[in-house]
Chains A and B, each alone.
Chain A
Amino acid sequence: DGGITQSPKYLFRKEGQNVTLSCEQNLNHDAMYWYRQDPGQGLRLIYYSQIVNDFQKGDIAEGYSVSREKKESFPLTVTSAQKNPTAFYLCASSSASGYTGELFFGEGSRLTVL
């Protein structure tokens, strides 16, 4: 089945550590996105990529980094510079051809900083 796979589903980290969240899609979508979800704040865009080897900052990129070396992969690194990293992180993708704007989401990764 086609879809988006995020791992790990749950992750604990100590303050000062970097952590990388994985996102893989087999939908052959060109664009991929990372959103952060906090209670009562909806989803906020961290980074997005519309093509391999290119990505743009979203609304809350500070303290995060990404790479897009392959079309199917878009990992997110939460660095020690992110002041409040505990959150639910969602990866999504969309197709550029026959564009309808719809995003397809993974199951999410919940990061807790101890």
Chain B
Amino acid sequence: AQSVTQLDSQVPVFEEAPVELRCNYSSSVSVYLFWYVQYPNQGLQLLLKYLSGSTLVESINGFEAEFNKSQTSFHLRKPSVHISDTAEYFCAVGRSSNTGKLIFGQGTTLQVKP
């Protein structure tokens, strides 16, 4: 069975500091990996995804994540955060042979302080 663990429930950080949100997964089959972002009282928006190819994937707003198969991790990083990055972030895993069922982690709340 697949599972996803987000190691930190809350991550406080000052504006312009770097941040890493950690995600580990377990799966015996090939997987797709995702990071979603959720602003208060809204749905989830896709931030970035790993399907195949380069293990480093980037989003348009400066986030990046690296797929590490040996460590079964998909940590999310940003070198310099903004106040507007304050949100909840979810890591998710899906099987490459399945149609759409994703397993989500518990979520990490990123709190960016001025």
Partner-B contacts on A (CB < 8 A): 4, 6, 30-31, 33, 35, 40-45, 48, 50, 90, 92, 94, 96, 99-108, 110
Docked Cα-Cα span, A66 to B41, in Å, equals: 23
**Chain B hits for A33, CB < 8 A:** 100-101
Partner pick for A43 among B90, B99, B100, CB 8 A cutoff: B90
Docked Cα-Cα span, A43 to B81, in Å, equals: 25
Docked Cα-Cα span, A110 to B104, in Å, equals: 19
CB B7 to nearest CB in A, in angstroms, measures: 13
The answer to whether B32 touches A101 (Cβ under 8 A) is yes
- Tell me the B69-114 residues at the A interface (CB within 8 Å): 90, 94, 96, 98-102, 104-107
Docked Cα-Cα span, A102 to B90, in Å, equals: 13
Partner pick for B106 among A42, A100, A104, CB 8 A cutoff: A42
The answer to whether A100 touches B32 (Cβ under 8 A) is yes
- Count of chain B residues with Cβ under 8 Å from any Cβ of A? 26
CB A95 to nearest CB in B, in angstroms, measures: 8
The answer to whether A102 touches B34 (Cβ under 8 A) is yes
The answer to whether B101 touches A45 (Cβ under 8 A) is yes
* A107 nearest in chain B by CB position: B43
CB B37 to nearest CB in A, in angstroms, measures: 11
**Chain A hits for B98, CB < 8 A:** 101
Task: Specify the main secondary structure of chain A where it touches its partner.
Answer: strand
**Chain B hits for A40, CB < 8 A:** 9, 106-107
The answer to whether A100 touches B51 (Cβ under 8 A) is yes
The answer to whether B99 touches A31 (Cβ under 8 A) is yes
* A94 nearest in chain B by CB position: B100
**Chain A hits for B32, CB < 8 A:** 100-101
Docked Cα-Cα span, A69 to B52, in Å, equals: 35
Docked Cα-Cα span, A92 to B44, in Å, equals: 9
Partner pick for A42 among B42, B45, B105, CB 8 A cutoff: B105
Q: Of residues B6, B45, B100, B102, which shows the largest number of chain A Cβ atoms within 10 Å of its Cβ?
A: B100
* B45 nearest in chain A by CB position: A105
Contacts known (A101-B34, A102-B49, A108-B41); A96 close to B102, Cβ less than 8 A: no
**Chain A hits for B44, CB < 8 A:** 43, 90, 92, 103, 105
A-B contact pairs, 30 of them (CB 8 A): A30-B99, A33-B101, A40-B106, A40-B107, A41-B106, A42-B6, A42-B107, A43-B44, A43-B90, A44-B104, A48-B101, A50-B99, A90-B43, A92-B44, A94-B100, A96-B99, A99-B100, A100-B49, A100-B51, A101-B32, A101-B34, A101-B49, A101-B100, A103-B44, A103-B46, A104-B46, A105-B44, A106-B43, A107-B43, A108-B42
